[in-house]
Amino acid sequence: MSRPVYLVDGARTPFLKARGTPGPFTPVDLAVQCGRPLLARQPFDRRAFDLVILGCVNVIQDEMNPARVAALRLGLGAEMVAFTVQINCGSGMQSIDTAYRYIRDGSHEMILAGGAEALSHAPLVLRQSAVEWFGGMAQAKGIAAQAKMLTDLRPEFFKPVVGLERGLTDPITHLNMGQTAEVLAHRFGIDRQTADAYAMQSHHRLARAQSEGWLDSEVMPAFADDGTAYDHDDGVRPDSDMAGLAKPKPAFERPYGKVTAGNASQITDGASWVIVASEAAVEKHGLTPLARIVDSEWAALDPSVMGLGPVLASTPIAQRQGLSLSDIDLWELNEAFAAQVLSCVEAWADEAFCRDVLGLETAFGRIDAERLNIDGGAISLGHPVGASGNRIVLHLANALKRLGKTRGIATECIGGGLGGAMMLEVA
Amino acid sequence: MTGPVLQHLGTTKLELGPVGPGDGPWRRGEADGIVWLVLERADAAVNTVDRSVMTGLAAELDTLERTPPRGVVIRSAKLAGFAAGADITDFEAMSAEGAADLLRQGHDVLDRLASLKCPTLCVVHGAALGAGFEIALACDWRIAVDGASFGFPEVQLGLHPGLGGTFRLPALIDPTEAMTLMLTGKTAHTAKAKALGIVDVVTEERHIRAAVDAIVAGDVERGQPGLKARAFGLDAARSLAARQMRSETEKKAPKQHYPAPHALIDLWEKHGDDPKALQKAEIDSFAALLDTDTSRNLRRVFFLRQGLKDGARGDDAIAHVHVIGGGAMGAEIAAWAAIKGKSVTLGDVQLDPLGRAIKQARETCKGQHLSAIETRDALDRLMPDPKGYGIARADLVIEAVPESAELKAKIYADLAGRMKAGAILASNTSSLRLSDLQASAPDATRFAGLHFFNPVSKMQLVEVVRHDGTDPAVVQRLAAFCGALDRLPVQVTDYPGFLVNRALTPYLMESMVLMDEGVAKETIDAAAMEFGMPMGPVALSDQVGLDICLHVAESLKETLDKPMPEISRRLRDKVEAGNLGKKTGQGFYDWSKGTPRPQAAGETPEDLINRLILPMLDACVECLRKGVARDADDVDGAMIFATGFAPFRGGPLHYARARGVGDVAQRLTDLADRYGARFAPDPGWKDL
């Protein structure tokens, strides 16, 4: 049994740039902030869902299984089954994909699928050496043993590590995510200026989308307890220019690297939900879907070149669906790094790569810049890792509808050497 | 939000030991040599302590004294709590003479309980108030289920504890803490009760039996009363403390109007070192207080509240409320409804007021002592709604936008076709007539007024206003909605100013006329407070908001036949300058440093208090005559719970009757001769 599956509606919070201290919202707070208005504008009772799935990478201690905590706080009822999924930067898309497959296969009718991340809440963690020392001290019996332990005390024990820094380091290769982008920039010949120009365009495109009101039904204002209303993605720099982007030093590989804070995705907090429904649910509740989920794919590759994940995940969909590059009207390719996005574009345009790696007879083709991330992306609006995959699917659906286009792919690279992709067609 | 599993199991199962079902206020069971006495009064949600409870307990004590068991457990079988105190209807029947006898009988029962040879344990869940608390105090041990609270609210009825509380509580805990509890009528919640030493053990309902067994087996130790208790055995120490208590009490409850707390201080100062003498004195003092006008009137206030509460019964069928307008009132109504469990959307086109509303709601939660979890849930239920998604989902839409008929009409037009079938539209207007607004409402039969007072979390009254076309079922649902919000609804008609503002406005405006005549605002306010108002009219105008006062005054001036005081130039000037009172920090008073405490400056003019108060009474008579409220009790209750009208006077109409209807009408006629037609008595006085 394979049933049509619809993306009915969706909403997200503004993506809020982390500014050094924990932001006003936890992952579940964020999920509640955008979930409430999304549910409030539906014609059906919020208990009508069969399931809640939430992607979240950095779950905080107070919110284990954030999907369930969010479901209860959103008033979906004590009987709502809810689970959390984690596949790094693909988590928010994994939730949609799981919902898609459950509904396609007939076990569920309507699922709330989201992603939430509060990177500003990443904990400070003790170094392993310090953890071992504290453990030894606790076990030391008698003054002599304790005095001996004291001589092992090192100043660096008290210098905690930001958990986020470790989270963004690949455990197999020990390369930071930014370094994997440096690897790609080198392999595909992306220079600093090209990466910066791409970043500038991302800011300009997001600023235009904001001022044109194209995000009005997608971005719901979030209200903090202190009375602050957050109504837009606040990492955007509408006046971004090449001179400004030329200033920052390389962030990961000094002094010669090409990846800077300016041409990489921003560290932000945010959440996003979409409603995924069967045809029966759409009819029962009288819904007007935004799009139909046509296909999805996950792929894996060497962790040190994880940035090519979108190429490996998207191509099989095009092949299965018998589509060529020109059939795909819009692309949401998550902007982890400008150099990484541009490397994906280059890989698809490279005949040898397409032949050897993707098994195509010729180059897939060069994606038209006017079809790629047309309203900006993670470089301008940030990358709350668990939420981004959800956001790009939602935005793709909204953009297809707004422009009257037919078909698009949302895809992301995933730390650890993975890629995820999902194809939508307008409903 | 309870699922079917918990619905089946029940959220709480009380541990009743070996006690099975049965009749009578007390049910008995025995197991392992421990006797359980369970209190469950028939036909009531909450236990109250009446004569049947005391005689029933006496009968049980007969058996227990003959053959003492290993231990005795006393608790309530009512989910609502232990016991809410004496049955206040009983007070009415107790004549001052008979009261002392009845009290002595009650004291005898509790003395017998206190002197039982075996350990006695009182298990308290929910509230143990007044006589309920006194039963608990007569036991050797008190076990509290988390959530239990203890208090002596008698002062609110013009009384003090009368079943031994005045000597048992100071003997158990720090006497100054004990006196504070009794003087303020505040309740001590579980943690506080444990810290004070009222409670020996705090545990969960599921461990009650184990706690009882442990105490009876002698496995639980408890602390000894501290040094302070012994220090107050000295007369000098008590006198010093009593002097402080008197001056503190005088500020909140002047002896002239509220004798009970002062009598309590006297009792303790005189007999604090002699429990037997204190017990005897407590009985006499209580019986005397019962016979005071203050206590009678405060008991009347209790029943007025009950009467208004009775009007709030029934199902509101309102799960979701959409409030339009994020200004002060809209934000407060929305926050309060969310705190009380409603799903709330708060609509405003601007984001900033919505943000402020959230901040304010958080502060209200704090003021209500909500836990972190309760606060989170309340704020989760309160959704700022700039796009108005809530309109289509709401069972009740409350419009709380500025007082402009055009603006309201525009908003109502926008609601047409968007509201759910059967949903109610209510306006929080205080100065516009519903009859003028109803034409633009999507459905006039489901349009009414819901007039909250500021601040919503503190002012208990809500006027439920019907116009000629309002469906009576809608009025009832709105009244029930007020009940669900723990507010007191009074049903009124669409009269200019409805009931409360009609009666209050002449009082506020006259205070400004007096200021124009050169009387200091402090003198005016001090005189009103001396009369018993919680706040003088000038300060109250500031609190209500001078813009709102002006709106209401202008609208009353236009629509009423009766002349109103001239609207003071000062009021217009303040409003024009944007000094609107408390909300802007500056009105007639400077509010930047908190609520003003005016002291009389100079002579109080002879007619001052009559000029202020009598027009208010006259307006109440007018409203009664015109059927604005159902009856005199509704008028009195509304004025007390909306404006704080001197509660010990029992309400404006009750006060007028007590003072003499003919006398008051004559004074009005005199005032009319001297100051103008605005004082001319209403024709309704002759029927009062």
Q: Which of A397, A353, A344 is nearest to A9 (CA)?
A: A397
Helix (H) or strand (E) holding B188: strand B187-189
Which of B318 and A166 is assigned the larger pLDDT? B318
CB-based contact A88:A416 (threshold 8 Å): yes
Residue A327 lies in a domain: yes
Helix (H) or strand (E) holding A5: strand A5-12
User: Per the residue annotation, which of B134, B269, B282, B463 is the catalytic one?
Assistant: B463
Average pLDDT on A5-34 reads 96
Give me the residue from B1, B359, B393 closest to A226, CB to CB.
B359
CATH number at residue B400: 3.40.50.720
Tokens linked to A228: 């602050």
Quick check: A223 and B386 CB within 8 A?
no
Pairing of strands B396-399, B424-427: parallel
Give the separation between CA A47 and CA B482, rounded to whole angstroms.
Answer: 27
Same domain, B286 and B374: no
Tell me the per-residue pLDDT of A169-223, one tens digit each, with 9 for 90 and over: 999 999 999 999 999 999 999 999 999 999 999 999 999 999 999 999 999 999 9
Give the separation between CA B344 and CA A284, rounded to whole angstroms.
Answer: 26
Residue A125 lies in a domain: no
Residue A338 lies in a domain: yes
Residue A229 lies in a domain: no
Quick check: A77 and B3 CB within 8 A?
yes
Same domain, B236 and B160: yes
SS3 A87: strand
Q: Which of B604, B411, B393, B626 is nearest to B497 (CA)?
A: B626
Structure confidence at residue B228 (pLDDT) = 59
Same domain, B505 and B480: no
Closest CA–CA distance from residue B485 to any residue of chain A (Å): 20
Same domain, B515 and B622: yes
Domain count across chain A: 1
Q: Place A156 in a pLDDT band, splitting at 50, 70 and 90.
A: confident
Residue B41 lies in a domain: yes
Tell me the per-residue pLDDT of B471-496, one tens digit each, with 9 for 90 and over: 999 999 999 999 999 999 999 999 99
**Cα-trace Rg, chain B:** 27
Residue B68 lies in a domain: yes
Please give the ipTM for the structure prediction: 0.91
Closest CA–CA distance from residue B352 to any residue of chain A (Å): 7
Helix (H) or strand (E) holding B89: helix B88-93
Same domain, B513 and B480: no
Q: How far is CA B468 from CA A218, B90, B436, B447, in A?
A: 44, 41, 11, 10
Give the separation between CA A196 and CA B424, rounded to whole angstroms.
Answer: 57
Quick check: A223 and B384 CB within 8 A?
yes
Residue B613 lies in a domain: yes
Same domain, B197 and B325: no
Residues of A tagged active-site: 89, 383, 413
Ramachandran region, residue B430 (left: φ > 0; alpha: ψ -120 to 50; beta: rest): alpha
Closest CA–CA distance from residue B11 to any residue of chain A (Å): 14
Q: Determine contact: A78 vs chain B, CB below 8 A.
A: yes
Closest CA–CA distance from residue A386 to any residue of chain B (Å): 22
Q: Which of A111, A77, A44, A74 is nearest to A276 (CA)?
A: A111
Quick check: A225 and B362 CB within 8 A?
yes
Domain count across chain B: 3
Structure confidence at residue A414 (pLDDT) = 97
Same domain, B113 and B202: yes
Contact residues, chain B, for A79 at CB < 8 Å: 3-4
DSSP B207: G
Quick check: B359 and A227 CB within 8 A?
yes
Quick check: A225 and B343 CB within 8 A?
no
Residue A51 lies in a domain: no
Residue A203 lies in a domain: yes
Helix (H) or strand (E) holding B526: helix B521-531
Residue B392 lies in a domain: yes
DSSP B9: H
Q: Determine contact: A75 vs chain B, CB below 8 A.
A: yes
Structure confidence at residue B93 (pLDDT) = 80
CB atoms closer than 10 angstroms to residue A216: 12
Structure confidence at residue B178 (pLDDT) = 96
Residue B306 lies in a domain: no
Pairing of strands A5-12, B34-39: unpaired
Residue of A nearest to B393 (CA): A40
State the best of B349, B362, B365, B389 to mutate against chain A, taking most chain A CBs within 10 Å: B389
Instruction: Point out the residues of chain B with pLDDT beneath 70.
Output: 1, 95-97, 223-230
B297 is catalytic: no
Give me the residue from A41, A79, A225 closest to B3, CB to CB.
A79
Residue A65 lies in a domain: no
Tell me the per-residue pLDDT of A387-422, one tens digit each, with 9 for 90 and over: 999 999 999 999 999 999 999 999 999 999 999 999
B322 is catalytic: no
Give the separation between CA B224 and CA A171, rounded to whole angstroms.
Answer: 61
Closest CA–CA distance from residue B340 to any residue of chain A (Å): 15
Same domain, B523 and B624: yes
Closest CA–CA distance from residue B318 to any residue of chain A (Å): 15
Quick check: B351 and A79 CB within 8 A?
no
Same domain, B122 and B16: yes
CATH number at residue A302: 3.40.47.10
User: Per the residue annotation, which of B125, B271, B322, B451 is the catalytic one?
Assistant: B451
Question: Does the pLDDT value for residue A365 go beyond 60?
Answer: yes
Alpha helices (H) in A286-384, listed in sequence order: 309-321, 338-349, 351-356, 378-381
Residue B681 lies in a domain: yes
CATH number at residue B224: 3.90.226.10
Quick check: A40 and B345 CB within 8 A?
yes
Same domain, B122 and B230: yes
Same domain, B339 and B249: no
Interface of A with B in 122-151 (CB under 8 A): none
Domain enclosing residue B98, as ranges: 4-291
Residue A340 lies in a domain: yes
Give the separation between CA A2 and CA B89, rounded to whole angstroms.
Answer: 71
Residue B669 lies in a domain: yes
Tell me the per-residue pLDDT of B295-316, one tens digit each, with 9 for 90 and over: 999 999 999 999 999 999 999 9
State the best of B393, B395, B420 to mutate against chain A, taking most chain A CBs within 10 Å: B393
Count how many pairs of residues, chain A against chain B, have C-beta atoms within 8 Å. 61
Domain enclosing residue A417, as ranges: 177-214+294-422
Q: Determine contact: A221 vs chain B, CB below 8 A.
A: yes
Contact residues, chain B, for A231 at CB < 8 Å: 351
Structure confidence at residue A126 (pLDDT) = 76
Quick check: B355 and A72 CB within 8 A?
no
Tokens linked to A418: 């993975």
**Over chain A, what is the mean pLDDT?**
95
Same domain, B232 and B275: yes
DSSP string, B21-73: --SSSEEEEEETTEEEEEE--TT-SS--B-HHHHHHHHHHHHHHHHS--SEEE
Give the separation between CA B292 and CA B648, rounded to whole angstroms.
Answer: 10
Closest CA–CA distance from residue B402 to any residue of chain A (Å): 22
Residues of B near A (Cβ–Cβ under 8 Å) read: 1-6, 343, 345, 351-352, 354-356, 358-360, 362, 376-377, 379-381, 383-387, 389-390, 392-393
User: Per the residue annotation, which of B149, B297, B501, B579 is the catalytic one?
Assistant: B501
Residue B205 lies in a domain: yes
Quick check: B355 and A227 CB within 8 A?
yes
